[in-house]
Amino acid sequence: MKKAIVLVSGGVDSTTCLAIAKHEGYGAFALSFDYGQRHRAELEAARRVVKAFDVREHLILKVPLDAIGGSALTSEIEVPKDVALEEMQSRIPVTYVPARNTVFLSLALAWAETLGASDIFIGVNALDYSGYPDCRPEYIESFERMANLALKECVEGRIHMQIHTPLIKMTKAQIIKRGVELGVDFSMTHSCYDPDPFDRACGRCDSCILRRHGFDEAAIADPTKYAP
């Protein structure tokens, strides 16, 4: 069984991505990050998701991106609320975390090389997303080229790294439908950027709006617990 590192945040996309990797026959090693995010409920969701799947190992790395700040997810900047879908895709929002996917994928590369794995799965999406530059196909293609120049195992010809992005051209509704087809229980997942003290979703941040729109468009009930 081929080994694969799967980045698991605990959200809809990464959970579906993990289900796809398992469906394709990979032995999954789940990788999550405690990066000082204000929505720490996603780490508990990641633990729930990983427990529900037969993963080989789950590694949670502490990466203090909150020490750098610059994002509403890692500092005291206010999380935007009630933004129209059209506006989300017209600008890079303050919830963008500087270099987050570059940092995460670099650490995934290190673990992959240690394990002798040549495959990494990440649930980035270039359609229903909030304008993040590190979710675009050209970014992933560039990172994959860099990866094969950077690792000893690649340079010496033992592995060729591939970054899998099975969701990148799918809408949120298509992602949800695919997850349901693969038996994903989305009640395990967490999407909200600004949950209340009881970890209930706000229903108004970009991530909540995209999630609700996706479930509505898929004609599937959203199991999320929203704050009153």
Each residue's pLDDT tens digit, 161-188 = 999 999 999 999 999 999 999 999 999 9
Residues 197-205, mean pLDDT to the nearest whole number: 95
Check whether 128 has a pLDDT greater than 70. Answer: no
- pLDDT score for 127: 75
Check whether 30 has a pLDDT greater than 80. Answer: yes
Confidence band for 126, pLDDT divided at 50, 70 and 90: confident
- Return d(Cα 10, Cα 170) in angstroms, integer: 19
User: How much is the pTM?
Assistant: 0.96
Q: How many residues in the chain?
A: 228
Residues 102-123, mean pLDDT to the nearest whole number: 98
How many helices (H) and strands (E) in the chain? 8, 5
- pLDDT score for 91: 83
Rounded mean pLDDT of the chain? 95
- Return d(Cα 93, Cα 34) in angstroms, integer: 21
